[in-house]
Amino acid sequence: MRAVAVTGIGLLTPLGLGTAETWKRLLAGDSAIGPIRSYDPSPFHCQLGAEIAEFDPERFASPRLLRTTTRNDQLAIAGAVLAVEDSGVDTTAVDLDRFAVFVGGAKEISRPEDLMTASLSARREDGTADHGLLGRNARSAFSPRFYLEGLQSASLFYLSSIFGARGPSTYFHGTADASAWAVARAYRSIARGESDLAIAGGADDAVSWWSMSKMDGLGLLASNGEFRPYDVRRSGTVLGEGAAFLVLESEESARRRGAHVYATVRAASTTFDPHGLATPDPTGAPLADALRRVADPSEVDYVATHGSGTPLGDVSEARALREVFGETGYCASSVKPATGHLTAAAGALNAAVCALAVDASAVPPLLNLERVDVDCAAPWVLGQARELRVRTAVALARGLLGQQVAVVLGRAAQRSRT
C-alpha cells in the first residue's frame, strides 16, 4: 500500500472563490448564511441559505462545453479546476490511463426553468394539463439539450473530458456521504496502485428551489430562523451551495515533483444505519463503528463533524464521538454554520478542512453554539479558531438514508494504513 498525499484543494463556497479565501474566513469565524435572494423562498418554512454571490463558470470551462451544463455541473467543474491548479500538477505529462476521477453529487433534474417553460406547451385554456398535447408539442418544446442536462453523472463526464482522464472513475449519488466516499475511493485507488493521480470531491447547488423544496418538505431545515448545531435551540439545517475537490497522488510522486503536501489520507470506512429516513440510531452505534474501524483514539486531535443541526442527528453524532474518543483529549467543530450544509459536497469539504487543519496547525470554530444540549456534549471549538498541532484528523459525513463515512487524514510524515 502506497502513502497517499493531498496535493491540491479546490474550494468554491459561499465564503469565497478558492481555498485561501474560504479557509481565511472559516478561521475568522465568518458566516455566509443569510436570506435567500436568488428566488422567493416565502412558501418554505426556512428562508435561509448560503449562496455564492458571484460565479462566472466561463472562468473554468469553454462556452461550448457549458452549453449543456446545469449550475450543479458548473460548480463541480470549478471545484475540480481549482484543485488541479492548486496542486501544480502538469496534467499533460500524466499517464491519462492512470488518471482517476471520482465525483459525488445529488443532481436530479435539468434546469427547472427549462422544464417549466416546456411544460406550458401541455396547458389547456382552463389551466389543466393535457398529456396528449404534451406528446404532440414535446419535440419542439423541449430542447435536445434538456435530456443531457438532466443526466445525474454528467459532472463525471465533464471533468474527465476537461482533463482527458481515462483511468478509473465513479459517480456517487447521495448527500454528504457521496463526496466523502469519492475521496475514500480515490484514496484506495492510489494506495493500491490502481491509478497515479486522482481528482475526488463533490458539488451541489443545494440552495436551488428544487433542493430546498425537497428538504423543506422532509422537515429537515431550520424552522426557527437559526442554524445552531448541538444547541438546545436547534431546529434543523440550513443549505448552502458549492464544491470541494481534492487532488490525490502517492506521497512518493508528490515529493518527486516537489509538490506541497497538505496531508496524507490514512484510512477510510463506511457503515450503514438502518434505523430510518433521516432518523439515525439514537445511540450513534453505526457511526461509532465506522470510527472504530479506522481511527486510533489516542492519535486523533481534531474531528470535522457532520453537524446537521437536526435534533436526533446531532445527539447520535455526539454520542458516537464520546463512545469512541471520550470527552477530552481531542477537539471538534463543524463548518456548516459558516458555509451552510453543502449536502453532496459536504463530506469532501470536511476532508478538505481536515487537510487544511493538519497543514496550518489550526482548526476552525463551531459557530452559534451558545447553549450546548447536554446530550450533545463534546470538546467543541467555540468562539474563535484554535492553534493546534494536528497529528491526525477525522472527517465525518452522514447520508440522508443512513450512510456513515469516516475519512482519516494525518501529517505527511505518517504512513498510510493498510
pLDDT single digits (tens) 84-115: 999 999 999 999 999 999 999 999 888 777 77
Q: How many CB atoms lie within 10 A of CB 148?
A: 15
Enumerate helices (H) and strands (E) in the chain, giving the number of each. 14, 15
Per-residue pLDDT band at 314 (split at 50, 70, 90): very high
The CATH number for 197's domain is 3.40.47.10
Q: What's the confidence (pLDDT) of residue 39? A: 94
At 416 the pLDDT is 41
3-class DSSP state of 81: helix
User: Which uninterrupted H or E stretch holds 52?
Assistant: none
Residues 42, 231: Cα–Cα separation, whole Å: 26
Predicted pLDDT at 127: 83
In the chain, % of residues over pLDDT 90? 84
pLDDT of residue 417: 41
The mean of the pLDDT values for the chain is: 94
The cell for 316 is 447520535
**Overall number of domains in the chain:** 2
Judged by DSSP in three states, 264 sits in: strand
Strand (E) or helix (H) holding 222: none
Mean pLDDT, residues 28-43 taken together? 96
Task: Supply 412's cell numbers.
Answer: 505527511
Residue 60 lies inside a defined structural domain of this protein: yes
Residue 222 is assigned to a structural domain of this protein: yes
**CA dist list (Å): 290 to 14, 185, 194, 246, 351:** 30, 16, 24, 22, 16
Q: Is 140 helix (H, G, I), strand (E, B) or coil?
A: helix
pLDDT digits (tens, 9 = 90+) for 375-408: 999 999 999 999 999 999 999 999 999 999 999 9
**Element spanning 266, H or E:** strand 263-272
Q: Which residue has better confidence, 151 or 398?
A: 398
Q: Could you tell me if 190 and 2 are in contact, meaning their C-beta atoms sit under 8 angstroms apart? A: yes
| pLDDT given at position 95 | 97
Q: Within this chain, do residues 145 and 215 fall inside the same structural domain, yes or no?
A: no
Predicted local confidence at residue 125, as pLDDT: 84
Instruction: For the chain, report the end-to-end CA distance as a whole number of angstroms.
Output: 6
**Is 275 within the bounds of a domain?**
yes
Whether 136 and 167 map to the same domain: the answer is: no
Nearest to 45 by CA among 223, 174, 192: 223
Task: Report pLDDT for 176.
Answer: 98
Helix%, strand%, coil% for the chain, nearest 5: 40, 25, 40
Global pTM value: 0.95
Which residue range is the domain that position 330 belongs to? 4-108+152-410
How far apart are alpha carbons 169 and 102 in whole angstroms?
5
Last residue of a domain, one of 150, 175, 200: 150
C-beta of residue 11 within 8 angstroms of C-beta of residue 25 = no
Q: Residue 331 in contact with residue 383, Cβ under 8 Å?
A: no
Q: Which of 405, 408, 409 is nearest to 178 (CA)?
A: 405
State pLDDT tens for residues 175-233.
Answer: 999 999 999 999 999 999 999 999 999 999 999 999 999 999 999 999 988 999 999 99
- Give domain status of residue 416, yes or no: no
CA-based angle 382:179:48, to the nearest 5? 55
C-alpha 19/C-alpha 27 separation (Å) is 12
Residue 415 confidence (pLDDT): 42
Query: Which has the closest alpha carbon to 175: 213, 202, 210, 200?
Result: 202
Q: Verify that 242 and 273 share a domain, yes or no.
A: yes
Average pLDDT over residues 291-295: 96
The answer to whether position 418 is within a domain reads no
CA distances from 50 to 24, 132, 227 (A): 17, 41, 11
Q: Say whether pLDDT at 238 is over 50.
A: yes
Q: 276 pLDDT band (50/70/90 cuts)?
A: confident
Is 27 part of a structural domain of the chain?
yes
| Residue range 69-73: mean pLDDT, rounded | 94
Nearest to 299 by CA among 391, 182, 363, 371: 391
Domain stops at, among 94, 120, 150: 150
Q: Are residues 266 and 140 in the same domain?
A: no
In a domain, 195, yes or no: yes
The pLDDT, as a whole number, for residue 148 is: 78
* Number of residues that this document lists for the chain: 418
Q: Which pLDDT score, from 0 to 100, does residue 267 have?
A: 98
Q: Find residue 372's DSSP bridge partners.
A: 231
> Using alpha carbons only, how large is the chain's radius of gyration in Å?
21
Q: In the predicted model, is pLDDT for residue 418 greater than 60?
A: no
With cut-offs at 50, 70 and 90, classify the pLDDT of residue 135: confident
Q: Are 90 and 220 contained in the same domain?
A: yes
pLDDT reported for residue 379: 98
